[in-house]
Structure 1
Amino acid sequence: RSLNETPPPGLSRKDHIVKILYDELAKLLGKETDFDFKPGKQNKIIMLGIQGSGKTTVTAKLAKFLTKQGYKIGVIGADTYRPGALVQLRTMCEKSSVEVYGEPNNKDSPDIVKNGLNHFEKLPLDVILIDTAGRHKEEKDLLAEMEQINKVTVPDLAILVIDGTIGQQCFNQAEAFHKTIPVGGIIITKLDSSAKGGGAIAASAATGAQIMYIGTGERIDDLEKFSPTRFVGRLLGMGDIQAVLDLAKRLENEGDDIRLKRISSGKMNMDDFFYQLEEVTKVGSLKGFLDNMPGLSGMVKDDQLDQMEGRVSKWRFIIQSMTKTEKADPDILNSSRIKRISRGSGWPEHEVKELLKNYKNSKNMMKASKGRQMQGALRRMGFG
């Protein structure tokens, strides 16, 4: 794609290549997905994962998440190997008023699952989550036990819980699980740490399953739907660039083209200026915006950014205090109007005048895009 495609106007080839990489990774991981529960039956979900992946915690989190969506949930604790697993599961699920079936004195996991399904059979439940013991691909006995649990359960879905910190070894682990029980979904845990979760791509490739949710913390509510764009941005070390992509998309439509042509021709009004500030605000801080844009990181010095962010905050309040007529034609702003805007915005009159001065200079700045032109534009606006 990078060799055959021509970058759109305003986007360098380097930035275009980064965007292509971003798009392809997001495509590999799939779109946002959700459960497709069958009505009128108890949908059974088996939770799989290696020991220490956070599977029991995720089971409780998922139980609460689904409960909040209006589903009636039951949980079966079938991890007979880890001491305290059943107690932990019950303690966490109590917070969601979800019943957990378990047999503390029974070490036969398939038998516990069978009894648990019989226990819940007559209850009006939509979903039954089955927490199983963590196991490794080399543990043949545990994998065989998992096959037995699968036969007893006949699940509607098997979810593989992946530790976001273990990296590329995810592929072999996920492949072994998938050969035993077809994996239909993936949940990544421990992404609240410095882990980027690159192993999730390996797990997705090994199983063909989509990532459904990610765990972002220790609290019972720290489970969120998976967003491919946000995840890939994190994976590439680019932060959350969803807002940047949204901005790029908005700039491509016809309405924004008209606005951009007006801005680039030096005919910008205060409405256009306010629009630009709002677009940057949607992305986040200016420093974050530039850091997230490939090729722009480090172009502007930190002290310039700090100064700029402070002024942007003032400008937004001042512009919001203007009337539509004043935004359309700032040249009509006389001393009495400036006083009124000052009172409405809470900023001194000299700040309003400073904005007007910078607004006029910014008409020329919009023609500058990068490098020395941007530095010169910043100096003209008093940032350099």
Structure 2
Amino acid sequence: MVLADLGRRIRVAIGKLGQATVINEDELNLMLKEVCGALIEADVNVKLVKILRDNVKKSLNFEEMTGGVNKRRLIHRTVFTELVKLVDPEVEPYQPIKGKPNVIMFVGLQGSGKTTTCTKLAYYYQKKGFKTCLVCADTFRAGAFDQLKQNATKARIPFYGSYSEVDPVVIASEGVQKFKEDEFEVIIVDTSGRHKQEASLFEEMLQVSNAVKPNNVIFVIDAAIGQACEAQAKAFHQTIDVGSVIITKLDSHAKGGGALSAVAATKSPIIFIGTGEHIDDFEPFKVKPFVQKLLGMGDIQGLAEKIEEIGLDKQEELMHKFKKGVFTLRDMYEQFQNMMKMGPIGQIMSMIPGFGSDFLPKGSEEDATKAFKKMMIIMDSMAESELDHIKGDQLFTKEPNRIKRVANGSGTSIDEVKTVITQYKKFAELVKKVGSIKGLFSGNPMATPNLNPSQMQKLNQQMSKMMDPRMLQQMGGAGGLSEMMKQLQSMGGMAGLGGAAGGLGGGMAAPGNSKRRR
């Protein structure tokens, strides 16, 4: 998870402040001590932490605060503002322009995941409709071209390199020229990894840059190298005009604060973070949503963008069904399918207010995904009439032979099939209750509904019962989902989700008339 431990500790520190009977300067100092301690342990540069602490204290003068001021809210907002400043150089990152060649050059230390990240970025822009390609100008590391070639082939991205040419300047120039002639829009040049003490490699990096004249130079930094990040970032920035930063391996290193400090050293914005080994384990970095997720405030805008990206915000027929309280097994299948399309479960849940990026313990996210997939395999063995039956649970209860047939067809046990039916029943009951709330589905399904507190509390209680933790223990062993239930029950701000129905119906379901996939 992205800086999961840092986020948890900051939330705990601010949470303690919220529980204090009286909030005074002593309580503020105690909270700041814990927050700053967490930042330093996460390898954030000590000077930057001191600046953050001084700025928070400077912004909060208890003697000047007028009566009726909500001190807790003011302190929370001030900490949020200063954390944003910590990772925001206030520089707009370069954005590729369609219809023209955009040359992007990658630089960084050897072993930082630079070559893999090149492919991830090319794949990201390819999905956005750009004509993308890769150039391997890394002649220093043995196997660099083979790695890029393998990655590019898997992602179906054109590439250029050479086994015989040893001059990276020649390879880079020829590759860029070739792809410009072929009217490619995003041309990514991978270069050799280098260390600040390797003067000859730094000179080579400058020569490559002069030859290809990149529109953007991206510095790739490994989250695991800690405090060394700042010194390395400075060395690269002094030699070449670094325009953007990408942080890698944030999934495997709970610290990563040193990498965030690289922003201050290069005065360049972080544009992406790598969160895993797979090609789509790659998140666009936006400062405010990132800090919001650290503080457990969620990222509603990011969630809405993911929903829009895969076209789940235009489900008029589904909304019509939800108004009537109708929910079939096919709808549940599509819920799971589209939830996984949106990205890793932990990443999606961290966008929801009340959940931190640590809502699933390390390793449990994979188990939870397997559990959802197993449920989908079971539903794949159901007949069309069973999937589309308005009361699918009753159909299976009245005719137990159907359960046995589905178990045999899916290679699972009768108990596992029963678990799926039970889970479906819970979803269907929730949809029926949600559909009965007046005004919930009027207008934009992603808009926040005008619910009174009692309605929202009732809806929260129903949502907290929606997912049976035993289902995941039985089918994948993801104990983290039981913790998710506890968090859901304690949440008071589900309205921030864009409406529970927006998250449930508008966000994670597909049209009821979609054809079955085999």
Question: 2: distance between equivalents of 1:152 and 1:245?
Answer: 40
Q: Is the 8 A contact 2:91 2:268 kept in 1?
A: no
> Which residue is 1:97 aligned to?
156
> Which residue is 2:262 aligned to?
203
> Which residue is 1:17 aligned to?
75
Return the match for 2:85 from 27, 37, 61. Answer: 27
The alignment-based identity, stated in percent, is 39
Please list every run of 5 or more consecutive structure 1 residues that lacks an aligned counterpart in the other structure. 247-280, 290-312, 331-341, 347-365, 367-384
Q: Which amino acid aligns with 2:226?
A: G
TM-score for the superposition, normalised by structure 2: 0.46
> Which residue is 2:111 aligned to?
52
1:215 deviates by 0.5
3-state SS of 1:70 partner: coil
Q: Is the 8 A contact 2:94 2:216 kept in 1?
A: no
Q: Is the 8 A contact 2:94 2:243 kept in 1?
A: no
3-state SS of 1:138 partner: coil
Q: Which amino acid aligns with 1:191?
A: L
Return the match for 2:191 from 127, 132, 135. Answer: 132
> Which residue is 2:434 aligned to?
320
Question: 1: distance between equivalents of 2:429 and 2:354?
Answer: 16
**Greater shift after overlay, 209-218 or 222-231?**
222-231
Question: 2: distance between equivalents of 1:219 and 1:7?
Answer: 52
* Alignment partner of 1:88 is 2:147: yes
> Which residue is 1:169 aligned to?
228
The structure with the largest alpha-carbon Rg is 1
Q: Is the 8 A contact 1:215 1:224 kept in 2?
A: yes
Question: 2: distance between equivalents of 1:211 and 1:9?
Answer: 39
Deviations 1:177-217 (A, max 9, x none): 11111111111111112333212332111111001011111
> Which residue is 1:70 aligned to?
129
1:17 deviates by 3.1
The equivalences for 1:150-229 within 5 A come to 150-229=209-288
> Which residue is 2:61 aligned to?
3
1:244 deviates by 9.9
Q: Which amino acid aligns with 2:253?
A: S
Question: 2: distance between equivalents of 1:7 and 1:167?
Answer: 42
> What RMSD in Å do the two structures reach over aligned CA positions?
3.7
1:20 deviates by 1.5
* Alignment partner of 1:283 is 2:353: yes
Count of aligned pairs: 270
1:11 deviates by 4.4
- How has the CA–CA distance of structure 1 residues 68 and 17 changed in structure 2, closer, same or farther, with 3 Å as cutoff? same
Deviations 1:320-353 (A, max 9, x none): 365649x98x9xxxxxxxxxxx9xx99xxxxxxx
Q: Is the 8 A contact 2:296 2:354 kept in 1?
A: no
Return the match for 1:242 from 288, 291, 298. Answer: 298
Question: 1: distance between equivalents of 2:81 and 2:196?
Answer: 32
Question: 2: distance between equivalents of 1:97 and 1:8?
Answer: 63
> Which residue is 1:121 aligned to?
180
Deviations 1:258-314 (A, max 9, x none): xxxxxxxxxxxxxxxxxxxxxxx952469x89xxxxxxxxxxxxxxxxxxxxxxx99
1:42 deviates by 1.3
- How has the CA–CA distance of structure 1 residues 57 and 318 changed in structure 2, closer, same or farther, with 3 Å as cutoff? same
**Greater shift after overlay, 116-125 or 211-220?**
116-125
1:218 deviates by 0.3
Question: 1: distance between equivalents of 2:113 and 2:219?
Answer: 11
Question: 2: distance between equivalents of 1:60 and 1:134?
Answer: 16
3-state SS of 1:242 partner: coil
3-state SS of 2:164 partner: coil
1:119 deviates by 2.1
**Greater shift after overlay, 125-134 or 222-231?**
222-231
